[in-house]
Amino acid sequence: MGCLVTGEPHSGKTTAVRQFKQAYLDNVPEAQPNDIFLFQIPSRARLKGVMTKMGIELNIPDMELNNRRDFPTFRLIQKVTAKLWKNGVKLVIIDEFQKLFDLPGESRVEILGGFNDLANESHIPIVLVGVVGVDQLLDIGKYESDEGNLRGCFSSRFSEFRLGAWDDPNCPKFATLLKTVYDDCALMTPAGTSPFYMIESIRELILSSTEGLTGKIISLLKWATRYIIRNHLPENITLDVLKQTLKSLQVNGW
């Protein structure tokens, strides 16, 4: 029914799922924007709050009015399920899953039970995205309260896929990542200049300064682009540009 995508902070989890949706829209024939529903769990919200936010983002009319205390929670799930089907959603991606750590155990179980009902009623695969260690939230058996109807359900449904860090500056896929980010920055490289991702010393600096975390790599290159534009420099990411950018980032807690 889905999977659990995990990674260290700044490993690029959110970027990865957003890029996945864009790649799907760009490459799958007849793909529609509603095919993939991206959703971020709100902070410290119980099940009704989570389902209400989902309903609002799915454009269900008057969804906020259904968040009152006496409105049955299962009806909210039914409304969300019906709208997922009406919109033709083929995949649900739930980001920031680690926010459930901020909730008491019974609220976590309540939300997990709601996601379980959503999966059962919609028959739409669900991808959960969170930091390494968030798989503990799926082990219902560890909670003190007796939730026997949920035990084992999530651990079997959501096999974990962990995003790793880059560790080889000469890996062709790493160079491809850098080129992808570079193309997205839309810099006009001066004629006769080698793109930065083809220079080994630059690739090595990027790895050593970011711990190989995709999120940090993207942030570094975006900030380098801003540095170039703001200082009216030739539009090429150089070793010196990266070093100057790192100084600025480190001042701000990089």
pLDDT at 251 (0 to 100):
80
Cα–Cα separations (whole angstroms), residue 157 to 51, 135, 147, 188: 21, 12, 17, 46
Contact present, 67 and 48 (Cβ < 8 Å): yes
pLDDT at 67 (0 to 100):
64
Tokens read off for 216: 């940090």
Residue 117 lies in a domain: yes
Sequential DSSP letters for 12-56: -HHHHHHHHHHHHHHHSTT--GGGEEEEEPPTT--HHHHHHHHHH
pLDDT at 192 (0 to 100):
85
Show the domain range for 147.
2-162
Residue 98 lies in a domain: yes
State which of 98, 128, 162 marks the end of a domain: 162
pLDDT at 142 (0 to 100):
57
Residue 105 lies in a domain: yes
CATH number for the domain harbouring residue 204: 1.10.8
Number of domains in the chain: 2
Residue 254 lies in a domain: no
Residues 198 and 116 in one domain: no
Residues 230 and 154 in one domain: no
Residues 46 and 155 in one domain: yes
Residues 48 and 147 in one domain: yes
Contact present, 160 and 13 (Cβ < 8 Å): no
Query: Consecutive 10-residue runs of the chain (254 residues): their mean pLDDT?
Result: 84 86 93 95 89 93 74 89 95 92 84 86 91 77 52 64 90 93 88 90 95 91 95 94 92 74
Q: Is the dihedral of CA 99, 103, 107, 109 positive or negative?
A: positive
Say whether pTM exceeds 0.85.
no
CATH number for the domain harbouring residue 16: 3.40.50.300
Burial code (b: 16+ CB inside 10 Å, e: under 16) for 195-232 equals bbbeeeebbebbbebbebbbbbbbbbbebbbebbeeee
Residues 33 and 124 in one domain: yes
Question: Could you read off the pLDDT of 177-236 as tens digits, one per residue?
Answer: 999 889 888 888 888 888 899 999 999 999 999 999 998 999 999 999 999 999 999 999
State which of 162, 192, 222 marks the end of a domain: 162
Residues 178 and 143 in one domain: no
In the chain, which ranges are E strands? 2-7, 36-40, 91-95, 126-131, 158-162
Residues 13 and 110 in one domain: yes
Tokens read off for 128: 């959960």
